[in-house]
Amino acid sequence: MLNTEDFYHVWRIDQTSSLLREEIKEYCHTNIEMCLECGKCSGGCSNAHIFDITPRKIIQLIKIGEEAKLLKMDALWSCVACQLCVDRCPSSINIPRIMDYLREKAYKQNIPSTRPNVELFHELMLGNIKKFGRVPEALLSVEFNIKSKQYTKDAEMGMKMFFKGKLNPIPARVKDIQMVRRMFRNIPAQREG
């Protein structure tokens, strides 16, 4: 169990052992041993004001192998993959890729998202990419509203966009859909249990 002061303690990498750190090196191609603890990622993060654990602290928790805490954090589901942290990082630590990896891990272990309907949205979006090779916004919005039982959510804005020609109600498919499907075959979504 960590105390608040542990977050502010600078951990030397040779004082810690973390399987998660090795996984991240392998799957995210990013070496958190290069982290300088400078905090530029947290300072530049577009959503740090609502994160329960800020990006710099996330890297520290990976260093010391606090996987259970990381897979349950709210920040996992409020990171918008804007890449600002990577742009600012002097060591090019790819935090959005790390967030993706942790989200996948939480999903596979059936650890529920702290944000309602976020998993549903991800599943529908990926389903549409698999079918069409792109995301048809109109179809995705309708599917999401029906499945999340928010039948009239954003309906007024949707109608305005439709009449201005900004929403196409008929989904279009990319030319080489087989290539997209091959990608999905190589990365099957698996859930434990």
Give the torsion through C-alpha atoms of 4, 10, 13, 19, to 10 deg: 20
3-state secondary structure of 43: helix
Q: Single out the residue of 20, 28, 35, 62 in contact with ligand SF4 (rule: CB under 6 A).
A: 35
Comparing CB distances to ligand SF4, the nearer of 48 and 139 is: 48
Comparing CB distances to ligand SF4, the nearer of 61 and 89 is: 89
Choose the stretch contacting ligand SF4; rule: CB under 6 A; options: 4-12, 61-69, 90-98, 176-184: 90-98
Q: Whole-angstrom Cα distance, residue 14 to residue 137? A: 48
Residue 93: both structure tokens together: 């630590």
Q: Tell me how many helices (H) and strands (E) the chain has.
A: 12, 0
By CB under 6 A, tell whether 82 contacts ligand SF4.
yes
By CB under 6 A, tell whether 47 contacts ligand SF4.
yes
By CB under 6 A, tell whether 84 contacts ligand SF4.
yes
By CB under 6 A, tell whether 133 contacts ligand SF4.
no
Q: 172: closest CA among 121, 144, 137?
A: 137
| Residue 180, φ and ψ in degrees, nearest 5 | -65, -45
Q: Single out the residue of 27, 31, 77, 96 in contact with ligand SF4 (rule: CB under 6 A).
A: 96
Residues of the shown chain interacting with ligand SF4 in the complex, contacts defined by CB under 6 A: 35-41, 45-47, 55-56, 59, 79-85, 88-91, 93, 95-96, 99
